[in-house]
Chains A and B, each alone.
Chain A
Amino acid sequence: MSVIQALDISLAVLVLAVAIWTIVSRDAFAAVVGYVAYGLLVSLVWVRLFAVDVALTEAAIGSGVTGVLLISAAVRLRGTEAAVAAEWPGAGSRVLAAALCMVVTAALAAVVLTMPDPGATLAPEAARHLAETELGNPVTAVLMAFRALDTLLEKVVLFLAVIGVWSLAADGNWGGIAGPRRATNRQGALAFLAQLLPPVGIVVAIHIVWIGANEPGGAFQGGAILAAMWMIVIMARLAEAPAIGERRLRLALVAGPAVFLAVGLMGFAVANAFLAYPAGLAKPLIVFVEVFMTLSIAVSLPMLVLGPPDRPSS
């Protein structure tokens, strides 16, 4: 067994151990902290699968932003676990559920072990048409050109999720400052980090968006890093969260899907199909759309994490 193999096996064991911890841990807060660690470990597995774009997305969104969301929820829901302790299903149901889950796992494992290698692939198709997009990163080409409709709809889902979260605000708070009221504590490590990290984070985020055309990276990953920078500033109370009625905020939220849709519709006129790019202009148009997508992601993610406003705007 080589060193790499030993590392792979330890990584798999570690991932599963942390995953079991998030299920069996008695305390919800501890389980959520376990989930953050789990996300980072899974992004290492993605690196081992040679899917660096996915690894970046998993680390930034799957672990980072989801982690902040779940940790703040776990803190607000502290003490609610004792009340539901009586609702645990009986031992018989638990054994039955465990058996069912094992059957599902066994079936999937059988599929994994009998999967043909090399398997079905669209990689040659992607390679053949990659030159037409003038991009170097095939994943970005799939996201922004070959399967651009998926990405457009995903941006719409993100937008609808923000509307869904906002719509949970009480009537009197509509248009108010996003998120719960926070204690004014400008001291401490968080405030220090909130001053130290953003300058570096913003540069890294812009770099990741820009190189996304040719290297692993892109609007999703860069947007998530920008979102994280904004969130840490808000959480450290160095800046107030925006009021959800603010016009600038709303424009930033719709910019991504709107510009993408406009470029897509323009495809009818200049390239004879929805979301088609005219020859020679594909890359500039894709980068143009990605800039607005990054803006929308960077604004949407904090809105989803902060939650609905619980006070009116002053």
Chain B
Amino acid sequence: MAKLKFQTLNRQSQSFWLLIFFHVALVAIGLSAALYMEEHGHIVTGMSNQIVWGLPHVFAVFLIVAASGALNVASVSSVFNKLAYKPYARLSGILAIALLLGGLAVLVLDLGRPDRLFVAVFNNNFKSIFAWNIYLYSGFIAIVGAYLFVMMDRQVSKSTVAGKAMGWLAFVWRLILTTGTGSIFGFLIAREAYDSAIMAPLFIASSFLYGLAFTVLVLAMMSSQTLSDLMPDEMVEKFSGLLVIFALATVYFTVVQHLTKLYSASHRDVEDFLLRDGGVYPVMFWLGQIAIGTIAPLAILYMRGKALSPRMALTSAAVLFLIGGLAQMYVIIIGGQAFPLKIFPGEKVSSSFFDGGIATYTPSIPEALLGISGVSLAMLIVAFALRLLPFLPQGAPRQS
């Protein structure tokens, strides 16, 4: 195989700086929003004692899930020996770290007491999946960092054993990490919409989809910035095929999740709520996740090379998959809380504390800005890293 060549992002066009300015502005606005929430309390958000996790969690979990999936391209190259993916392994690693940092920043800034972050570092309850996640997330950053070092260091990269070992470690770690993220919900016995072991594999399938969609979009953007073709036709085909598989896997786990609950008489009402009667949530599910986020991009990918250019089809599908992913997270996180807890099963209940009622939630502007700024932070980290070190492949990658 020919020696792979990498490049830093040297050429920056006006559009690049505009994009950087846009992301810097969004991060600044997001930080201001977080400070505003910290100063006034969560009263300035749409969250309540009924919807305790709002839009910031939707973005945070979305980014964290995407982060583990973004590493997939690197895993495919080193763990599964697919050399065609090798040129993208570095980008895959740095994108994974950036997305995770973006998600974690949002998660931390949405805490009631973000100033107590170090309390969480020094006080751990290891029965809590949240506490595990603190180590899974920081471990992920350290392991992927080391993986990148092994791939990029002139001497160490000569060792195929080191690359393979780190590739395996990162791959196993990312699977455990996403299992941990899914289990945040899967372990909640009280909430009928969650409380299922399938949340972990569902999140893993979704992570493959979101992560690859992000990778494809960054590659498309960087192709235009570097004036080189970072995704040759062969890779456009491979990425398109993988996106189809990941989208179908996500749909599969989603269908099984809902069918399992629909089959149980005690859970039928929560399914009726999420899939038919729940107002914004069925719309988000059927229109957002299924129509816009699954069927439309699959149709677009099916038509690649026919009515659409393969490259255009791939990038448009990636955008739609990400929109669908956000809708999916919204339905899972917000919809799951909007349906009331069954504290007294079999009874119609009401109280001044909104027992028995469907909870309403309208995100406020500050919390929306905080959530969106997580994406911008991730993109800024990527742009900075690409400028600093040779993460990007040079021109069209070749395969022996």
Q: Are A and B co-members of a single complex?
A: no
Residues of A within 8 A of B (CB): none
Residues of B within 8 A of A (CB): none
